[in-house]
Amino acid sequence: MKNHLFKKMRAGVIDLHYRDYEEPPGNGGFLLNGGRLYLDMGHLEYATPECRRLVDAVALEVAGDLLLQEALEEMGAGEEVAFIKNNIDHHTGATFGCHENYLMRREVALDAARLGTLLSFLATRQIFTGAGRVGMASPLAFDFDLPHEGAPVDFQLSQARRLHRQRHLPVGAVQRAIINARDEPLADYRKYRRLHLLIGDSNMSPFACALKLGTTALILTLIEEGALPDDVILRDAVLATRQISHTGTGRGAVQLEDGRTRDALDLQHEFLAHTQRQLGGRDEENGLDPGKLALRPRRTRQPTGTAHRRGGLDFQEMAA
């Protein structure tokens, strides 16, 4: 697949040199849409380019799906082979997150209060960003003992929540955490940090993807401006993440740091109201309705004069 994309479809430029000790020459490359396609720990991975606008980020996410499907069809395997965009290996029970990266100002410290509020938001946002999952993981899939959690769960809001055991860790490939504390900004490190989140599900719906990225960006803006709500910190964000996912409705009560209990939907309503008060009307994207976005394939001319879609999409807002 990788070789076909770069060598046959000419969808990008393959790497000729080492990028890292795990990325030798030919392991991947840059795509014409600005993203990357590469092998990571034995599986194919697609990364969008850096985006300043929400609509671009969502469009390029969907463009990656279309690019892979187009490659399958050109290889003559479109009827026999399919890529499954999910976060769970149903054969082993292993789970994996859809990584999100956000640029933040370096001078803003992620102290206990800011981190706690961010974790509360991330734990509860799964009520509208979770991809859903039938059943639960088998302990045989892991090399550690899972905590006993009572009766089996028939349905979960989120696919990858079962594996998050820490709030934040410097390494993300083995021990899964909600936030990967590894700080590798793709910008001036003196001015910016890269917040690397591991808690998200892969979304088939552009609507859910827009909500996931857009609402998180708003919360990070509140963090940078020191304008967060002060009574929404969870006592145990990892435990609450699992409880919310297992409840399946968003109505299950979770415990806050001050001893009170609230449900995920209630907490998200508070985040929404607070964000509207602080940021409402500030710019066009803050009031963007994801339900009014339409995907329109963008076709580009190649030197041969033949029109091909090479992972390009335009996101346009439809009239109300």
pLDDT tens digits, 6-42: 999 999 999 999 988 788 999 999 999 999 999 987 7
Confidence of residue 310 (pLDDT cuts 50, 70, 90): very low
CA distance 75 to 93: 30
Q: Which residue has the higher pLDDT, 293 or 8?
A: 8
Residue 137: per-residue pLDDT: 57
112 in Cβ contact with 223 (< 8 Å): no
- C-alpha closest to that of 66 among 85, 51, 49: 85
pTM (2 decimals)? 0.82
40 is catalytic: yes
* The dihedral formed by the CA atoms of 147, 151, 154 and 155, expressed in degrees to the nearest 10: -50
Q: Is the pLDDT of residue 92 over 90?
A: no
Confidence of residue 163 (pLDDT cuts 50, 70, 90): very low
- Both tokens of 9, joined, read 């479809």
Q: Per-residue b/e over 279-306, b at no fewer than 16 CB within 10 Å?
A: beeeeeebebebeebeeeeeeeeeeeee
Positive or negative, the Cα torsion across 140, 145, 151, 155?
Answer: negative
146 in Cβ contact with 165 (< 8 Å): no
Average pLDDT over residues 198-218: 92
Confidence of residue 206 (pLDDT cuts 50, 70, 90): very high
Q: Is the pLDDT of residue 154 over 90?
A: no
Q: Which residue has the higher pLDDT, 101 or 144?
A: 101
Say which of 15, 20, 40, 154 is annotated catalytic: 40
Which stretches within the chain are classed as H helix? 2-3, 54-74, 112-124, 126-129, 206-225, 237-247, 264-279
pLDDT in tens, 246-255: 888 888 899 9
Phi-psi sector, 65: left (phi>0), alpha (psi -120 to 50), beta: alpha
Q: Is the pLDDT of residue 299 over 50?
A: no
Q: Which residue has the higher pLDDT, 226 or 180?
A: 226
Confidence of residue 91 (pLDDT cuts 50, 70, 90): confident
Residue 192: per-residue pLDDT: 93
CA distance 157 to 133: 6
Lowest mean pLDDT of 69-83, 93-107, 243-257, 303-317, name the range. 303-317
Lowest mean pLDDT of 72-76, 181-185, 200-204, name the range. 181-185
